[in-house]
């Protein structure tokens, strides 16, 4: 007696893909959860520090200011620090998402266009040759240096037609040359080395409302520009020929993407110094959750990147009380192992 094996039809064998409405619903629910998580982390950033502050006192300090010591700490120290962390996190996350789409490289970093190196070169020049000593003074030089570095990269990489490979190679060369200049100046000027040391680690500790007000317009302009670029970047991710067939203007999109990256990453670097891994990790992880659609990657990156940055800042404040670890150190300690894991994965989230 033989047993007949069941026959499976093609309809039975092939899994039924989830509907577009179902995918959209899950993405929207995940985005709402990300916003809630960001609100919780932001509240914790105000409440947690070398001296914990109960949430009821945080509420009173924000909305019923009495002028006592706790209220001053909340309004003048922790609120500016949290706001700057929020803005910088959004800037780094969106800059990373744009860079990865522009270069079609899922592990591209916001500094790939030399933005961080340009900002660092301008800051060390201002310290060594012009005697600038305040953070508010660094901001404008850093923004100018970031913009000039981006222009140099585009002139070098786009002289014969900007392509992802040419831009990446030009950015790498510019990055190396500018950081060589930074190290040379620091070796020749020990005072510049001492003043640069704190800035180059990456920190939110010196945040104040003046710095927030200085960088906010650049970050908000960059944010608006990235939202406009979502559809063209989706087309570019399919390849140049396909993008042209879909009507995308490749040169215009790449120029605007570089402008957006300069505004976002340049302003973030100017305010806090270079902070590693935030713009690399978050967009890549988000892509694994949402797929390659930039219309979803951008809002996810804009909410989860400040979660990572503010969360790292909180860890740095409580890990070695009463001192603190700079946020750039914490993101590096977290990002290193995560980066190794992403590189060693057999299946990476592709663009």
| Tens digits of residue pLDDT in 276-329 | 889 988 998 898 889 889 999 999 999 999 999 999 999 999 988 888 889 999
Name which of 153, 126, 34 is nearest 89 in CA terms: 34
Q: Report the alpha-carbon angle 292-264-90, nearest 5.
A: 65
Q: Is a pLDDT exceeding 80 seen at residue 162?
A: no
| Three-class secondary structure assignment of 117-180 | HHHHHHHHHHHHHHCCCCHHHHHHHHHHHHHHHHHHHHHHHCCCCCCHHHHHHHHHHHHHHHHH
Specify the pLDDT at position 143.
Answer: 86
Stretch 66-83: mean pLDDT: 89
Averaging pLDDT over each range in 171-180, 224-233, 300-309, which range is the top one? 300-309
Q: What is the pLDDT of residue 11?
A: 42
pLDDT band at 160 (very low <50, low <70, confident <90, very high): low
pLDDT over 70 percentage in the chain? 90
| Distance (Å) of CA 224 to CA 102, 257, 264 | 17, 12, 10
* Cα distances (angstroms) measured from residue 307 to each of 195, 268, 274: 29, 15, 18
User: Quick one: pLDDT band at residue 136, thresholds 50, 70, 90?
Assistant: confident
Which residue's structure tokens are 């990572």?
A: 308
Query: How many Å separate Cα 133 from the centre of its chain?
Result: 26
The span from the CA of 329 to the CA of 312, in Å, is 9
Asked if 279 contacts 93 with a C-beta cutoff of 8 angstroms, the reply is yes
* Integer Cα distance of 136 and 152 in angstroms: 25
Helix (H) / strand (E) element for 351: namely none
- What pTM was computed for the model? 0.86
What pLDDT is stored for residue 348 in this prediction? 52
Token code pair at residue 237: 């991710």
Residue keyed to tokens 């995918």: 23
Q: How far apart are CA 316 and CA 2, in angstroms?
A: 69
């Amino acid at each position: 007696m033989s047993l007949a094996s069941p026959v499976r039809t093609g309809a039975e064998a092939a899994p039924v893909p989830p509907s577009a409405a179902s995918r959209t619903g899950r993405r929207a629910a995940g985005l709402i959860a990300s916003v809630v998580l960001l609100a919780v982390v932001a509240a914790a950033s105000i409440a947690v520090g070398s001296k914990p502050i109960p949430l009821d006192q945080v509420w009173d300090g924000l909305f019923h200011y009495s002028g006592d010591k706790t209220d001053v700490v909340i309004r003048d120290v922790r609120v500016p620090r949290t706001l700057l962390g929020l803005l910088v996190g959004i800037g780094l996350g969106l800059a990373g998402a744009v860079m990865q789409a522009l270069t079609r490289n899922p592990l591209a970093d916001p500094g790939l266009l030399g933005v961080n190196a340009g900002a660092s070169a301008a800051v060390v020049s201002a310290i060594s040759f012009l005697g600038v000593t305040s953070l508010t003074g660094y901001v404008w030089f850093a923004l100018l240096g970031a913009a000039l570095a981006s222009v140099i990269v585009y002139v070098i990489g786009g002289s014969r037609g900007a392509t992802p490979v040419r831009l990446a190679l030009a950015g790498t060369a510019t990055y190396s040359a500018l950081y060589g200049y930074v190290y040379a100046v620091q070796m020749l000027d020990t005072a510049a080395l001492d003043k640069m040391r704190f800035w180059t680690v990456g920190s939110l500790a010196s945040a104040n409302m003046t710095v927030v007000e200085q960088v906010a317009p650049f970050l908000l302009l960059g944010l608006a520009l990235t939202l406009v670029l979502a559809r063209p970047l989706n087309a570019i991710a399919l390849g140049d020929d396909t993008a042209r067939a879909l009507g995308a203007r490749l040169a215009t999109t790449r120029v605007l993407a570089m402008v957006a990256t300069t505004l976002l990453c340049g302003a973030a670097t100017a305010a806090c110094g270079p902070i590693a891994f935030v713009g690399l990790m978050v967009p890549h992880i988000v892509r694994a959750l949402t797929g390659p659609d930039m219309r979803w990657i951008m809002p996810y990156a804009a909410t989860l990147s400040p979660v990572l940055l503010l969360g790292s800042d909180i860890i740095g404040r409580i890990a070695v009380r009463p001192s603190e670890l700079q946020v750039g150190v914490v993101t590096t300690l977290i990002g290193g192992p995560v980066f190794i894991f992403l590189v060693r994965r057999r299946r990476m989230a592709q663009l």
